[in-house]
Structure 1
Amino acid sequence: MGNLAGELFRPFALTVTIALLSSLLVSLTIVPVLAYWFLKSPSPASAAEDARIAEAARSKAHEAEQRSRLQRGYLPILAKSQKHPVITIVAAVLVLGGTAAMSPLLATDLLGNSGQNSMTVRQVLPAGTSLEQTGAAAAQVESVLRGIDGIKDVQVTSGNAQTGFAALTSSGASNSTFTVVTDDKADQQKLQDTVRSRLASASAPGKVTVGAQQGGLGTSSSVDITINAANSADLKTASDAVAKAMDGVPGSAEVATNLDASQSVVQVKVDRAKAVAAGLNEEQVAGVLASTVSPIPAGTVRIDTTDFPVQIGEGTHFTSISDVRAINLPTPAGPVPLSSIASVDQVDTPVSITSSNGQRSAKVTVTPSGSNLGAVSTAVSDRLASVQLPAGVTATIGGATTQQADSFRQLGLALLAAVAIVYVIMVAAFKSLIQPLILLVSVPFAATGAIALLLVTGVPLGLPSLIGMLMLVGIVVTNAIVLIDLINQYRKPHDGSPGMSVADAITHGARQRLRPILMTALATVFALTPMALGLTGGGGFISRPLAVVVIGGLVSSTALTLVLVPVLYKLVEGRREKKALLKALTQRPDVAQDGSRARATATTLTGPPE
């Protein structure tokens, strides 16, 4: 995995791998030594006495196990499922169908709330608004913000507070940006909704938008629509059409376009023919206007260790367009007004112009109001398909939608690779191509509990949830492996005694492995419970979805492993056993003459236990 998913969870995968290898080493070395030291049996008088004590201990443990409530509840269920395999399989298929039906109900999100206790509020006033008016309007918004419970600090930036290249991307004097720091214990989503409602009821000047703080983990929190056009007119038309179509998208908080950021300027268009007739050119006109509007720089003067700029004149302060049109330009024939050789108009121009591959581009941003990014993306796609764009204009969806799709696709491929690797390892271990497939049946049923618990807890499906699904592949297969391995051991001859039949091996194996499987599952569930309850602090946006998925998947897969896997094993291995018995009986001289009796005998031997 690469990009966000790889960078975020590669350390997690390495940590889990190292921990598992370490626990394997401890279980094979230290645990046996500790068991030898602390679990010593009484010293027997002879070998026969040792065997008698061991057999008595086994019998006592066997009787106590059979009388336990756990066995009395599980064995009847196992017997009925073995007796009615078709009903069991049909029920399992219905469970899978229910899982597929629940999937569309899941909310999807990339990472959800990343735990940031901050938000950004933007106030956009009409183009040409003075800095004083912008500051006064920002003060109104600030007073509203400071009166909301849960907000600790508010930092306001009005106008252009940057210099150099950053000033070129500033939105001018008509905009204000508020960086709001909130209480880290507050519900950030509810607090954002409260801020939106309070600002809307306060009738704050201009357009006010509220969003989560950007940055961190390289993710985006909005659905972006990138529009490309050959000229500015088509770009403006398409941007307005898309923004209008996106207004009111279910689950969205606000819609914004970067073409909204504009500033009012005085535009002078020189008529070349009239300028030449007056004895001027465009450069001369521009130079006269520059010296009239602004002081003329004349170098610097150093006094002691400080350099001071030197400017000639004070510039001219204009109060109206007519004053600009009346500027006198020196010509050989005498001064002439600017309006005689040029048109002077006040126009709104974009603060910045973005181009991509030689085409003008704009971005329409849809900010989700909740944690269901998938539903917002789907609604945006549907509405975008119905927008009539000018000829030659294209619109593509990006932002968080693209990041989520790429991450989900990578994790889906990783999930398939994990299943394939597990299958290859189990084929080598069991020396069978069929039995590993029986074990892998537990994997899809893990999704049943995972999806159900996600719906119950209201946790969206995102990157952490899919990582939990990836973990479940190894966890749930482990339970099935220990069950099938013991069943296979019971079927093998041991110490001169013949192996058990398939039915007997399943009964004894499932009974013996019931307690270890449940203990392993419960230990994992209880260990992840604090994470699922969100008690892990700021990292809960990753740990909680992961824990919820693992707990839900482990519960459902464990229950189905103890019931469905034995049924499938009997269907596959029971058929093989029946064929082997029929072949052995037909080779006996006393039975070969009566094939029907051989088949009847084989059927009796392979029937379900009483």
Structure 2
Amino acid sequence: NNYAQFIVNTKSNDDTEDMLDKYTDKYLNHFPNAKVRFKQLEYTIAAYPIEIRLKGDDKKDLKKASEDVRKAMEKVDALTLVQTNNEEQLSGVSIHLDEDEISRLGINRTSVALNMAMKYSSGIPITTVWDKDYPMSVVLKSDRNHSTNFNDISNEYISAWGGASAVALRQIAEVKPDWNDGNIVHRNGINSISLQSDIKRGTVASEVTKDVVKEVKKVKLPKGVSYEVGGAAEADAEFLIQIIYGLVIAILIIFFILLFHFKRINLALLILLSVTLCLFGASFGIWVMGLELSVTAILGIVSLMGIVVRNGIIMLDYAEELRKEGMKVYDAALNSAKRRMRPIFLTSAAASMGVIPMILGGSVLWSPMGSVIFFGTIISMLLIITVLPVSYWIIFVRADKIKERKLSREKKKLQTQQID
């Protein structure tokens, strides 16, 4: 297949969107025997946003399944350019050697293969020469410079008796025309065919993938053939695993920092559990803006966790100082919420205002992150100044009761000693 690519630089993002809206559907099937694909550069390694990968040992069953799955995918309106990586068959030549004849003439299969390779293929690799960082392959090839037809192969001479004579290939072999697969794709050593597709503008890849999977599940696949989802969904899942690993490590580091600062495991756990408060705001932001939970949205949640932990430290650290001065848990929680409300509001407002350009830009990549941080910061701020002080009071009110009972016992003991 022939392939060409044009990279168009526009003056602004709006111009890019306008050009894609105008030409994507117009030239989709404009040229005969050509596939025209308009694609905006994205931060993804997936070649196509939608991909269904079929795997199986039997090639015939695999091809039949790919046709059935392709028909099922074409039922989804949001898909465009549904295609397969199983290319059309290519014409070739099949050479069947006469074993008795080649043994009599002292010809072996290797010499015939080398002869054909030098004259009718790209040549025999000899070595590789490097020019700095650029490799250059050295091949052994015949100087044949005219076009070849089927009869030329039959009349090709093969050396016999150690080069003492030569015979035509038709005398020692049966030459027949043949058809072969254009390419044979293997994945982890198993035959594989991928069905790939683009999506229409204005649609979300994750939602379209769900619709495609529903249609594929309706297809009755031959025995021994299975499918898996690739494309953007697979790429996001791979990145998500790495982010989760990093998130777990970050949580552990935060916990040990809190434990080192407060020197109390219950207080450190309380602030760490307050991180869950950011999920309400993040979910609300994604829902209100009509976005999908993408990788950048998860990165926004990770950033939001840091803001929530910081606000929790600002509040509870002051509450601990008030308790050390002799104030009860209830009063310490109430006063810390009142006194720390202003700094928490100012820092949260500054963080939320800073991501407004990311939201207004409407970028598929950055808008989810901006929405998560904006709404998550505001809503988590309200929850921090209400839920966290109450939780602090509920957890540590018992400590006040124990302290009061201890003081009461000591007071009674002191009064008893004075009477004696």
TM-score (norm 1): 0.51
1:4 corresponding residue in structure 2: none
Q: Which residue of 1 aligns with 2:192?
A: 361
- Measured at CA, do residues 269 and 189 of structure 1 come closer, stay the same or move farther in structure 2, by a change above 3 Å? farther
- Provide closer, same or farther for how the CA distance between residues 312 and 581 of structure 1 changes in structure 2, counting only shifts above 3 A: closer
User: Pairwise mapping of residues 163-202 of structure 1 onto structure 2 (< 5 A)?
Assistant: 171=1, 177=4, 179=6, 181=8, 183=10, 184-186=12-14, 188=16, 191-192=19-20, 194-199=22-27
The 2-side partners of 1:568 and 1:208 are apart by 61
User: Is residue 230–residue 393 contact of structure 1 (8 Å, CA) maintained in 2?
Assistant: yes
C-alpha deviation, 1:551, in angstroms: 1.8
| 2:233 pairs with one of 364, 376, 401 | 401
Separation in structure 1 between the aligned mates of residue 142 and residue 238 of structure 2, nearest angstrom: 57
Residue in structure 1 matching 2:373, options 544, 550, 573: 550
User: Matched residues in 1 for 2:145 and 2:265: separation?
Assistant: 92
Contact 1:418 1:473 in 2 (8 A): no
Cα 1:492–1:199 shift into 2, 3 Å? same
- How far apart, in 2, do the equivalents of 1:523 and 1:473 lie? 16
Q: 2:246 aligns with which of 407, 411, 414?
A: 414
Distance verdict in 2 for CA 1:271–1:552, change over 3 Å: same
Q: What is the percent sequence identity of the aligned residues?
A: 26
User: How far off is 1:555 after superposition?
Assistant: 0.7
- Structure 1 CA distance for aligned equivalents of residues 330 and 255 of structure 2: 25
Q: Larger Rg: 1 or 2?
A: 1
Q: Which runs of 5+ in 1 are unaligned?
A: 1-170, 295-308, 319-323, 331-337, 494-498, 593-610
CA gap of 1:419–1:358, structure 2 versus 1, over 3 A, is: closer
Question: Which residue identity is paired with 1:447?
Answer: L
- Cα 1:353–1:213 change in 2 (3 A) is farther
In the alignment, which of 284, 298, 302 is matched to residue 470 of structure 1? 302
What is the 5 A alignment of 1:9-408? 171=1, 177=4, 179=6, 181=8, 183=10, 184-186=12-14, 188=16, 191-192=19-20, 194-199=22-27, 204-206=31-33, 208-212=35-39, 218-249=45-76, 251-259=78-86, 261-262=87-88, 265=91, 349-356=180-187, 359-369=190-200, 370=202, 372-408=204-240
* Within-5 A mapping of 1:520-531: 520-531=347-358
Deviation string, structure 1 residues 489-527 (Cα, Å, up to 9, x no partner): 11223xxxxx22223222322221111111111222223
Deviation at 1:198, TM superposition (A): 1.7
Give the C-alpha shift of residue 468 in structure 1: 1.7
CA distance in 2, matches of 1:310, 1:583: 102
Instruction: Check whether the contact 1:262–1:348 (CA below 8 A) recurs between aligned residues.
Output: no
Whole-Å separation in 1 of the counterparts to 2:290 and 2:94: 59
Please say if residues 354 and 362 of structure 1, whose CA atoms lie closer than 8 Å, have aligned partners that are also in contact: yes
Indicate the residue corresponding to 1:500 in structure 2: 327
C-alpha displacement of 1:271: 10
Residues 520 and 216 of structure 1: CA distance in aligned 2, closer, same or farther (over 3 Å) = closer
Q: Which moved more, 1:551-560 or 1:522-531?
A: 522-531
Q: Does residue 578 in structure 1 map to residue 401 in structure 2?
A: yes
Q: Secondary structure at the match of 1:186?
A: helix
**Structure 1 residues 186 and 272, CA gap change in structure 2 (3 angstroms):** farther
Distance 1:358 1:419, change over 3 A: closer
SS of the aligned residue for 1:388 comes to coil
Describe the shift of the 1:398–1:217 C-alpha distance in structure 2 as closer, same or farther (beyond 3 A).
closer
Aligned partners of 2:328, 2:142: CA distance in 1, in Å? 104
Which residue type is aligned with residue 425 of structure 1?
I
Counterpart residue number, 1:6: none
Q: Determine the C-alpha separation between the residues in 1 that align with 2:179 and 2:21.
A: 33
User: Do the aligned partners of residues 581 and 349 (structure 1) sit closer, same or farther apart at CA in structure 2, a change above 3 Å counting?
Assistant: same
Is the Cα–Cα contact under 8 Å of residues 24 and 38 in structure 2 kept in the other structure? Answer: no
State how far apart, in whole Å, the 1-side matches of 2:268 and 2:387 are: 14
Q: Residues of 1 paired with 2:42 and 2:4: CA distance? A: 16
CA distance in 2, matches of 1:421, 1:328: 76
- What residue number does 1:516 align with? 343
Is 2:315 the counterpart of 1:483? yes
SS of alignment partner, residue 364 of structure 1: strand
Distance 1:316 1:454, change over 3 A: closer
Alignment partner of 2:265: what SS? Answer: coil
From the superposition, tell whether residues 206 and 417 of structure 1 become closer, same or farther in structure 2 (CA, over 3 Å): same
Alignment check: 8 A CA contact 1:214 1:220 kept: no
Q: Which amino acid aligns with 1:562?
A: I
Give the Cα separation in 1 of the matches to 2:176 and 2:330: 97
Specify whether residues 194 and 342 from structure 1 end up closer, same or farther in structure 2 by C-alpha distance, changes over 3 A only: farther
State the match for 1:91 in structure 2.
none
Compute the displacement of 1:223 (Å). 3.1
* Contact 2:44–2:232 (8 Å) recurs in 1: no
The one-letter code sitting in structure 1 at the alignment partner of 2:313 is I
Which whole-Å CA distance do the structure 2 matches of 1:313 and 1:422 have between them?
Answer: 71
Tell me the CA shift for residue 563 of structure 1. Answer: 0.8
Aligned residue for 1:389, secondary structure, equals: coil
Instruction: Find the partner of 2:359 among 532, 541, 551.
Output: 532
Whichever residue aligns with residue 421 of structure 1, its letter is I
Q: Using the TM superposition, give the Cα deviation of residue 359 of structure 1 relative to its aligned residue in structure 2, in angstroms.
A: 4.5
How far apart, in 1, do the equivalents of 2:249 and 2:148 lie?
72
Query: Does residue 443 of structure 1 match 2:275?
Result: yes
Q: Which sections of structure 2, spanning at least 5 residues, go unmatched?
A: 121-140, 158-169, 416-420
